[in-house]
A and B are shown apart, each in its own frame.
Chain A
Amino acid sequence: MIRVVLPAHLRSLARAGGEVTVDVDGPATQRSVLDALEASYPMLRGTIRDHVTQKRRPFVRFFACERDLSHELPDAPLPDAVATGAEPYLVVGAMAGG
């Protein structure tokens, strides 16, 4: 079980109260977590990464274990603490005005 923390606007969109959890088949990677997240919450498709290219949207960042994983390869393994559910995987809206 992997814990995912979404930014407030995406929690509202997903109608999720707080942290959400997903299960992944095989290794826990950013791609497998986001695939599982979008399978459970299809309304999130296109809001975190592009529908077609699967690239992270520019103003979205991925953090875990006090590290910025935004520029890691999508198929790189996530830290063990995330894969075991000890630490959450954070989807964060970048600091920007407006």
Chain B
Amino acid sequence: MSRVRVLVGTRKGAFVLEADGKRDKWDVSGPHFAGWEMYHVKGSPANPNRLYASQSSGWFGQLIQRSDDGGKTWEPVGNQFTYDGVPGTHQWYDGTLRPWEFKRVWHLEPSLTDPDTVYAGVEDAALFRSTDGGTSWHELAGLREHGTGPSWQPGAGGMCLHTILLDPSDPQRIFVAISAAGAFRSDDGGTTWQPINRGLRSEQLPDQDAEVGHCVHRIAMHPSRPKTLFMQKHWDVMRTDDAGERWREVSGNLPTDFGFPIDVHAHEPETVYVVPIKSDSEHFPLDGKLQVYRSRTGGDEWEALTNGLPQSNCYVNVLRDAMAVDSLDACGVYFGTTGGQVYASADAGDSWAPIVRDLPAVLSVEVQTLP
């Protein structure tokens, strides 16, 4: 029987949650790297026992950990992230200029085909790649240097590159998203880049047709339709069907179109999940009711999924990297909260149950479907 392994990054360590295909009884291991901020843990699609983890602290900086046995043991690998050349400046919140300065790795995206190749999205925003299993890292500087970089500015969480999508049908195509710069695409394996933000509207910007400056929170893709992307922006849920050439809003009947994560059902490319959040600044569920919203029509029409989720006095948030799906049948959906719960649905969102409820604040959730 197939198994699932859920990789959870939290403010104070990493946890590995495992279950068989029924997904009703869970083994919990951790905390791994207790006391450290674990922004992201992700497995290689080419070798599920190869995991990469981003470990950081305000005291001791950034580390990258690698496992070759599915998270049982770990080895620190390379942690030197040096920008290519003289990195220059970007905008600060108050409109002044700040030099680019490495702070942490937000997201690790292993190659679809090579376990030793992995991409890292970092703050201050840049994309790095390792081709030796994380031992050494090299910036794909064409992103930061394509022209708009000096006008990028941080979102409330920092100027982070948080989303990396690799096109399974075209190894040269990569999508990334940066808060608060926008979405970008490379068609040559990361050497050159272009902004792909046409159709986004952000009232925080004076020019509604601005090429960059949009606070994109997350982008998701179904592997069978790599030109269709779904975006949870600061406000607005968006969709493109031409690899980002043009976006259109699909917020439809959502009670609020602010949120952080967005993901796509493993077997239904038009089934999308978001977690609507009250904003500005509250960043908790509307009326204290934790609700996932699902669209089976690729957006515009949304239904609330509440069965098993707290419907009173719930004031947690779900962060941008804290939702994932497995590829079992029926598709499993998972998300973690800033209150330390990790919820799972083994029926595509119809019903939910907590796997764990008292972890540190959850920063990221990834799922591996294992044979």
Contacts and interface: CB of A to CB of B under 8 A. Distances in A.
Interface stretch (A26-34, A42-50, A79-87): A42-50
Interface of A is mostly: loop
Contacts of A93: 59-60
Contact of B36 (A7, A9, A52): A9
B60 A60 contact: yes
Contact of A51 (B60, B76, B82): B82
A47 B36 CA distance: 13
A9 B35 contact: yes
Contacts of A7: 59
A47 B58 contact: no
B58 A98 contact: yes
Contact of A59 (B35, B58, B79, B80): B58
Interface in B149-189: none
Q: Which of A45, A47, A60, A94 has the most CB of B within 10 A?
A: A47
A94 B80 contact: no
Interface string B38-80: 0000000000000000000111111100000000000010011
Contacts of B35: 9
B58 A46 contact: no
A13 B59 CA distance: 13
A52 B102 CA distance: 12
Contacts of A57: 59-61
B63 A13 contact: yes
Given A43-B76, A51-B82, A52-B82, A9 B62 contact: no
A46 B59 contact: no
Contacts of A5: none
Interface residues of B, number: 13
Contacts of B63: 13, 43, 46-47
Given A60-B59, A96-B58, A45 B80 contact: yes
A19 B64 CA distance: 24
Contacts of A46: 61-63, 79-80
Contacts of B59: 7, 9, 57, 59-60, 93-94, 96
A52 B60 CA distance: 15
Interface residues of A, number: 18
Interface in A31-78: 43, 45-48, 51-52, 57, 59-60
A10 interface: yes
Q: Which of A10, A46, A57 has the most CB of B within 10 A?
A: A46
A79 B76 CA distance: 33
Nearest to B12: A98
Contacts of A98: 58
A6 B58 CA distance: 16
A13 B76 CA distance: 8
B85 to A, nearest CB: 13
A94 B61 CA distance: 13
A59 B82 CA distance: 20
A60 B61 CA distance: 10
A18 B36 CA distance: 20
Given A9-B35, A9-B36, A13-B63, A51 B58 contact: no
Contact of B57 (A9, A43, A45, A51): A9
A57 to B, nearest CB: 6
B132 to A, nearest CB: 15
Interface string A1-27: 000000101100100000000000000
A47 B259 CA distance: 34
Contacts of B58: 59, 96, 98
20 contacts: A9-B36, A9-B59, A10-B60, A13-B60, A43-B63, A43-B76, A45-B79, A45-B80, A46-B63, A46-B80, A47-B63, A47-B79, A48-B60, A51-B80, A57-B59, A57-B61, A59-B58, A59-B60, A60-B60, A96-B58
Interface of A: 7, 9-10, 13, 43, 45-48, 51-52, 57, 59-60, 93-94, 96, 98
Interface of B: 35-36, 57-63, 76, 79-80, 82
Closest 3 pairs (CB-CB, A-B): A47-B60, A43-B76, A59-B59
Given A46-B61, A47-B79, 15 more contacts: A9-B36, A9-B57, A9-B59, A10-B60, A43-B63, A46-B80, A47-B60, A48-B60, A51-B80, A52-B80, A52-B82, A59-B59, A59-B60, A93-B59, A94-B59
